[in-house]
Structure 1
């Protein structure tokens, strides 16, 4: 499994538009084969910091995501919404389970 985790500073004047765009992107992405999770949320300590968590079943599924039409549209929208440089990290997970 591949996990993507990151934070994206949002321009405060564009927060509502960022929320709409993120909700649309989440819905589109979670409809893709191999996407187990694609969620955005806002940081409880910084209302203008959007947090991203993605889970992908395989490298192939993630590669297909990067070439999707909705990713191209999202990448066009993002520059007008951000308020700083995103910080995004990729993890390759060998196992997972409930926290005990």
Structure 2
């Protein structure tokens, strides 16, 4: 028996659902030769504070296994607003001050907006 036959009016319901795409930040930092350990000493407090932020799923700086002067960066955020709040945080401001004294020769960091994700394989 259909909905109308049971005395319930047929209605079309449209739901407006806003889905905030996740954000991935990925890239690398090229350090002056021999300065990688110094970088990691200075970045640890900022990483610990960032991992406590709402919307932060992953925040990692890792040494490249084949290049002693290259550091890889990977971040995963629930949405752009969470990343923007991270940039406005006190620990990020403190990190910028500490990082200014580090011998970072170059950086290549990109921000990606994720609209779809599924298990691989």
Relative to the length of structure 2, the TM-score reads 0.75
Residues 36 and 56 in structure 1, CA contact (< 8 A), matched pair in contact too: yes
Query: What do residues 21-48 of structure 1 show as CA deviations (whole Å, max 9, x unaligned)?
Result: 2222221111000001100101112111
Aligned pairs (5 A) from 1:1-100: 1-100=22-121
The structure with higher relative contact order (CA 8 Å, sep 6+) is 1
**What TM-score, normalized by structure 1, do the two folds share?**
0.90
Equivalent residues of 1:23, 1:40 under 8 A apart: no
Count of residues in correspondence between the two structures: 100
- Of residues 80-89 and 45-54 in structure 1, the stretch that sits farther from structure 2 once superposed is 80-89
Name whichever structure is richer in helix by fraction.
1
Q: What residue ranges of structure 1 are gaps of 5+ in the alignment? A: none
Inter-partner Cα distance in structure 2 for 1:42 and 1:74? 19
